[in-house]
Amino acid sequence: MSRRRVKLHELYREIEALGGADECADDEAYNDAIDDVLAILRASGFGEGFYIDQREYENRARVSTAAQMEAAQ
């Protein structure tokens, strides 16, 4: 398998697509593992429709801090 660069929210979608039907105990265990990985990613801020990249996150924090300082004055 060759390596390629993907954005993290695209990686989330690819991992999500790995899940499938539960036809046997092995399938169920596999899908449970996929769900666990997706839960970890969601807890870190990734997922369909709500991904925020690190720069945007930092920018929002700066804007929020500036607004709080301005409101305090």
- 2 in a structural domain: no
pLDDT at 56: 64
Is 14 within a domain? yes
pLDDT tens-digit map of 17-57: 888 777 888 888 898 998 898 888 877 767 655 555 566 66
| SS3 of residue 49 by DSSP | coil
Give pLDDT, residue 57. 62
Question: Would residue 18 count as lying in a domain?
Answer: yes
The pLDDT score that the predictor gives to residue 49 is 57
Provide the phi-psi class of 38: left if phi over 0, else alpha when psi is between -120 and 50, else beta. Answer: alpha
Cβ-contact 50, 14 below 8 angstroms: no
Angle made by CA atoms 46, 51, 53, in degrees to the nearest 5: 105
Which pLDDT does position 47 carry in this prediction?
A: 64
Q: In the prediction, which pLDDT does 66 show? A: 77
Residue-number span of the structural domain to which 65 is assigned? 8-72
* Domain tally, the chain: 1
